[in-house]
Amino acid sequence: MKYTLVKQLIELAEQYESENPENSSQNLVDFTAWLNGQLMQKKPGDTKMAGRLITPYETVESVLGKLITFLYRYARIYSKKSLENTPLITPDDFTYLAIVFSRGSMTKMEVIESHMQEKTTGMEILKRLLKNGLIEQYDDETDKRSKRLVVTQKGQQVLMGIFPSMGYVASLISGNLTTEEKMQLVYLLNKLHLFHQNIYQESRYQHPEDILKERLPDKYNT
């Protein structure tokens, strides 16, 4: 056997890694979306249609930001409805509880940082979960100043009851996109996420103008 297909996949994987050096996770979902774009030679979406969405008073960047904000608000509306009659008040309550459950245990700051939130906001969410008996805390063995969190039996029962409903929310949010469009969107949004995650970790307190000048000088000068 000549393993021609395997050799092609290896070459494509090397190309993907060279074009995406900032993506430390290098996961299969991102690679599949990238590979789909390479093989199909398609740009995601209809650019002519997208152009008609931009008024003379807007830019493609401002419209992109607006649409991302709208999608976030739609997701919160659907999630809040699904959380009615549960101990969880906000969608963040659900995601905090879910990530601690999936990881087994986490420190408070690990949970907060994973959600890109300020410490005060994150602590309020954790207080609610602790007060409702959905999580419990204990001293970290390596750092006595930190508290580790685990999901209680009650918290697990709440999660198991909510997962089906939140699955409907996830399906609804992805709307009428085809599987190919979903994969393309995952790839593009993750590319943006990695770009902004680096800023959040290193430059979050800088003014946006200074960040743009430093990270995207070509866009700053236009």
Is the distance from CB of 52 to CB of 146 less than 8 angstroms?
no
* Per-residue pLDDT at 28: 72
Residue 149, beta-bridge partner list: 106, 137
Task: Supply the pLDDT for residue 154.
Answer: 96
d(CA 63, CA 53) in angstroms, rounded, equals 8
Q: How far is 60 from 53, CA to CA, in rounded Å?
A: 9
Cα four-point dihedral sign 49, 55, 59, 63: negative
DSSP for 116-164?
T--HHHHHHHHHHHHHTTSEEEEE-SS-TTSEEEEE-HHHHHHHHHHHH
Read off the pLDDT of each residue in 146-167 and give the average, rounded to a whole number.
94
Provide the pLDDT for residue 25.
57
- The pLDDT, as a whole number, for residue 100 is 95
Higher-confidence position of 73 and 219: 73
d(CA 13, CA 26): 10
- Give the chain's mean pLDDT: 85
Question: By percentage, how much of the chain surpasses pLDDT 90?
Answer: 44
Looking at residue 44, its pLDDT comes to 53
Closest listed residue to residue 151, CA positions, set 182, 106, 196: 106
Distance CA 198, CA 195 (A): 6
Confidence class for position 111, pLDDT limits 50, 70, 90: very high
Residue 201: predicted pLDDT: 85
Domain boundaries along the sequence of the chain: 1-42
pLDDT digits (tens, 9 = 90+) for 8-36: 677 777 777 777 776 655 677 677 767 76
Q: Which two tokens stand for residue 222?
A: 């236009």
CA 2 to chain centre: 40
Mean pLDDT of 99-123: 92
> From CA 165, how far away is CA 154, in angstroms rounded?
18
How far apart, in whole angstroms, are the C-alpha atoms of residue 30 and residue 8?
A: 18
- What does the pLDDT read at residue 205? 87
pLDDT over 70 (residue 42)? no
Query: How many other C-beta atoms lie within 10 A of the C-beta of residue 108?
Result: 20
Tell me what the mean pLDDT of segment 163-190 comes to.
90
* Cα 80 versus chain centre, distance: 18
Question: Using CB atoms within 10 A of its CB, is residue 129 exposed (0-12), middle (13-18) or buried (19+)?
Answer: buried
**Mean per-residue pLDDT for 148-168?**
95
Phi first, then psi, for residue 187 (nearest 5°) are -60, -45
